[in-house]
Structure formats: C-alpha cells, structure tokens
Amino acid sequence: MAKVLAGVRVVEHGTFITGPAASMLLADLGADVIKVEQPAGDPFRAFRGGTYSPHYQTYNRNKKSVTLDTRNKDDLARFEALVAEADVYIQNFRPGVAEKIGAGEARLREINPGLIYCSISGFGPDGPAADFTQVIQGMEAAAGVTVGRKGGR
C-alpha cells in the first residue's frame, strides 16, 4: 500500500474506538502516529478481562505510544513538545475533559497555530445529549427492559 501520509505527524489522545480508529486509518496510510495514554492507560487494553486485548491491538496498530500525565509539569512539557511538532491532534474525550488535562483546542493552537485539531464525541460538544453519561444510562435502562425478556431479543 502506498504511504501517502508519510511525513505527517499525528498525536492521538484517544480511548476505546473512535479516536484510535481515526488515527489507525492515518497510520495505515503512513502517518507517524503517537498515541498518548494517561497513566491508567486506554481502558480498551483490558477489554473482556485481558491485559492487552486483541481489540486494543487492532485499533492501535502501526502506532508509537507514550504514557503522560499532563497534570505533571514534566509530562505536560513533553506533551507540549509533541504537539509543537504535530500536524494533527485527535481526541475523543467527553466535552470539557481535554481542557482539564491541558489539551483544549485554544491552548494547543497557541502552541501550534497550524495544528489540525480533531475532537470526536459521541453526541456532540453541546446540547442536551453532550453529557452522554446520562444518555448511555438511559439507553442501558431501555435495553435492560427489552433485551433478554421473553419475546425480546
């Protein structure tokens, strides 16, 4: 496969599927992707009780990775150095989390004005479903009522 994105640097701060899948596709096309994990690691590592699940491996192939706690001054400086050299930044945190960990769009654009900033969220950055925790809980409750009941799926 042609590596059409060779020379493109991507910093990914994603967990589970959407952020990692987006940067996986860029890595497959030749981009240099650096996955930044918080100290606890991507929760998808332990999917279905494993320590390095095949699901995690699939969505994180062709990437380099580093663990950084951006609340720590030295780690924040390392993160800023990565962002300064990046072409693209991808995150899929809940709205407000990126700002809390020093990775909000305005702040990263101060470090790198040409940065392409990609924020992926389940239900958008604002509006009634933005705090998708409540939406997910509602979906789970509806599923609990219908799935597994006699006559249900």
72-91 pLDDT, tens per residue? 999 999 999 999 999 999 99
Query: What 8-state DSSP symbol labels residue 139?
Result: H
Task: Kindly state the tokens that stand for 74.
Answer: 């030295």
Query: Considering the chain, what is the average pLDDT of its residues?
Result: 85
What's residue 43's pLDDT?
86
Which of residues 136 and 57 earns the better pLDDT score? 57
pLDDT at 148 over 80: no
Task: Kindly state the tokens that stand for 152.
Answer: 């249900």
What's residue 95's pLDDT?
86
CB 98 within 8 A of CB 119: yes
Domain ranges of the chain: 9-121, 128-153
How far, in Å, CA of 81 to CA of 58, rounded?
Answer: 27
Domain 9-121 architecture? 3-Layer(aba) Sandwich (3.40)
7-59 pLDDT, tens per residue? 999 999 999 899 999 999 999 999 999 999 989 888 888 887 777 788 899 99
Q: Which of 93, 90, 91, 89 is nearest to 130 (CA)?
A: 93
What's residue 41's pLDDT?
86
Q: Quick one: how many helices (H) and strands (E) in the chain?
A: 6, 5
Hey, is 24 helix, strand or coil?
A: helix
pLDDT at 138 over 90: no
The answer for residues whose C-beta is within 8 angstroms of residue 78's C-beta and 6 or more apart is: 66, 68
